Chain A
Amino acid sequence: MSAVKQARRHGRRSRLEFASMRSPVVLTLAVTAAVAIVGTARAGPFIIVNGLVTGAIWALVAAGLALVFGVMNIPNFAQGEFFLVGSLSGYLVFTNVSPRIGGGLAWAAPIITILVALLVGMLVGGLLDVVIFGQMRRRIREQWVMNTFVVTVGISVVMINGYQLIWGTDYRGIPAYFTAPPIHVLGVGIAIDRVFALAVGAVAISGLWALLRFARLGRAIRAVSQDEAGALMSGIDISRIQTLTFAISSGLAALAGATLLFNFPAFPYVGIKPLYVAWTVVILAGLGNVGGAVVAGFIIALFQTSTSYFIGSQWEDVVPFALIVVILALRPNGLFGRGVRGVWEQ
């Protein structure tokens, strides 16, 4: 293809997508707003408050998923197990640290806990990338997506069973990070732990955004996801950037796992739910679209809280799955999809 055609295609494609994407986005946002308003009118503002808290955390897990797919073209079905890595590290750190620092410094224990979980998640993720995906990058060129998909499912099974072997099937959780009484916003009592979770989600997402937008590393990550040949030519060590990307993504999931420890105790299968919710979010947003994943995280969470209140909590997981089916049938590129180009297929 001539360069002219290629350049024109980029331009035309983006305009076309813009024109055709408006209506579904508006529709979805309108439905979301309607659910939020009706839900609030009938059940009170806690629908929105809970939606925000859960949404912030789903956004974290999903943003990591989107990042890894956008940059490395890996559909990561082991993301839930990094959530588990976070829950476990969170549990081990908090139960050991919390009794030792008391009094005025008690507020520091949860912060230390989630930071350690973030680091452990990044380390495990980075190591896994070097040992497994790094090797695959050097050897496999064809059927990359399918191969890595199967490998991540395998990693997930190994990690779940490995966990079970060492730590057993007991729930390892904590009742709450903070003992202070709930605060009241708009007449809704919100546990401090939930406020904390919302804050952690907001800080982590802003941090990720700033990293991708302004940092040297973020530029390299965007460059690798947009054009590998160009990135190589600019002196970027692609494999290193991909290892770091995977580490960041795993770290985000682990951070989410540790932050939600009061709600999701560590046990072998704790990662299943975050994984499927995150996939719904990513499919709704469009694969590889990190910014869209954040918005979609809040949308899905709002639908979940409303479903759980109005229909029943056993239906909470049905909604994401039903949404996956509808989205894939009607709009397979996702709401904000912009035809993400694969890293290996350029």
Chain B
Amino acid sequence: MAILQSRQLTKRFGGLVAVNRVSLAVEEGSIFGLVGPNGAGKSVFLNCVAGAQRPDDGRVIFRDQDTTGSPAERLCHLGLSRTFQIPQPFPRMTAIDTVLVAAHFGSPTDGVPPLEQARRSLRFVDFPHPEGTPVSGLNTVELKRLDLARALASRPKLLLLDELAAGLMTGQLGALEDILRKIRDSGVTIIMVEHVIRTILGLCDRLAVLRQGEKIADGPTREVAGDPAVIEAYLGQRR
């Protein structure tokens, strides 16, 4: 069953069509990869789905509801959470406070008290410091984990990750990949925009490829990765 569908989703900026009639269906319980060269419209697509930008055309169906143009906080309450390419922490809070905010305001609680929910999320991402650590002293990997913990604390059904691996060194990727698998196994669907090919191939069940705003491929990861059109989009035409 598809947890998220986009139908003919379109976003224009003046004369530029950033996302052009993109239709996708993301199966519940899977990790779905969204790839493409820079400027292909991946982040804009994500923004339109997550309520950060309003699509000009087309529909977004999330958990059988038409959520086209819904504001981000409503989507969060419905169970859609996200992280950004650059972590967006609350710079003058502690780690636990940051996560607690999402536990308080995320989708309706399942009876777990917010503080307990927040602690569970921090443990889930193996946050390496005591919970009272100030956010201002954390490094990139720790901030990414914190961003993930905060997203999880809002009890999402669908998690959108925008270039989680960006800015990380290869050695740091493995641990994050393990966390993402753990998240999927706990029943949360993941859509990830990513550039690191190894991470994509290792994690994603399905892939969609965007190029200049249009979807040029969509299918199981292995098939898509071998598609000549995809290779051309990334590497240019073979002469």
Q: Which residue of B lies closest to A8 (CB)?
A: B139
Residues of A near B150 (CB, < 8 A) are 230, 233-234
Chain B residues with Cβ below 8 Å from A226 are: 90-93
A3 near B167 with CB under 8 A, answer yes
Choose from B89, B97, B136 the contact partner of A219 (Cβ within 8 Å): B97
| Interface bin, chain A | 20 to 34
- Complex: chain A residue closest to B72, CB-CB: A232
Among B104, B140, B151, point to the contact of A7 (Cβ < 8 A): B140
Interface size on B, residues (CB 8 A): 41
Question: A219 to chain B: which residues have CB within 8 Å?
Answer: 97, 100-101, 104
Q: Does A231 contact B (CB under 8 A)?
A: yes
CB-CB contacts of B86-111 with A at 8 A, as 1s and 0s? 11111111000110111011110000
Residues of B contacting A2 in the complex (Cβ-Cβ under 8 angstroms): 86, 140, 167
Docked-complex contact A230 and B167, CB < 8 angstroms: no
With the chains together, A167 CA to B168 CA distance in Å?
A: 65
Tell me, in angstroms, the Cα distance from A3 to B163 when the chains sit together: 12
Check B143–A3 contact: CB distance below 8 A: yes
**Given contacts A222-B93, A230-B90, are A235 and B140 in contact (CB under 8 A)?**
no
Least CB distance from B205 to A in Å reads 24
A interface secondary structure, majority: helix
Residues on the A chain within 8 Å of B154, using CB: 233-235
* Chain B residues near A330 (CB-CB < 8 A): none
Instruction: Report if A208 contacts B (CB, 8 A).
Output: no
Q: Which residue on chain B has the smallest CB distance to residue A4?
A: B140
A223 at the interface (CB under 8 A from B): yes
Q: Which residues of A contact B166 (CB under 8 A)?
A: 3
Contacts of A229 in B (CB 8 A): 52, 84, 88
By the criterion CB–CB under 8 Å, are A216 and B136 in contact? no
A6 to B105, CA, bound (A): 26
Chain A residues, Cβ within 8 Å of B138 = 7
Instruction: Tell yes or no: A14 within 8 A of B by CB.
Output: yes
Give CA–CA (A233, B97) in the complex, Å: 15
The distance in angstroms between the C-alpha atoms of A220 and B102, with both chains bound, is 9
CB–CB A234/B106 < 8 A = yes
Which of A1, A220, A227, A231 is the one whose CB lies under 8 Å from B91?
Answer: A227
Interface set, chain B 45-99, CB cutoff 8 A to A: 52, 71-73, 76-77, 81-84, 86-93, 97-98
Find chain B residues with CB under 8 A from A230 CB.
Answer: 88-90, 98, 150
- Which 6 A-B pairs rank lowest in CB-CB distance, beginning with the nearest? A235-B76, A234-B102, A230-B88, A226-B90, A235-B105, A232-B72
Besides A235-B107, A236-B105, 8 other A-B contacts (C-beta < 8 A): A11-B136, A219-B100, A220-B101, A222-B90, A229-B52, A233-B81, A234-B106, A236-B73
A-B contact pairs, 19 of them (CB 8 A): A4-B167, A7-B87, A7-B139, A7-B143, A10-B135, A11-B136, A219-B97, A220-B104, A222-B90, A226-B93, A227-B90, A230-B88, A230-B89, A231-B90, A233-B102, A233-B150, A235-B76, A235-B106, A236-B105
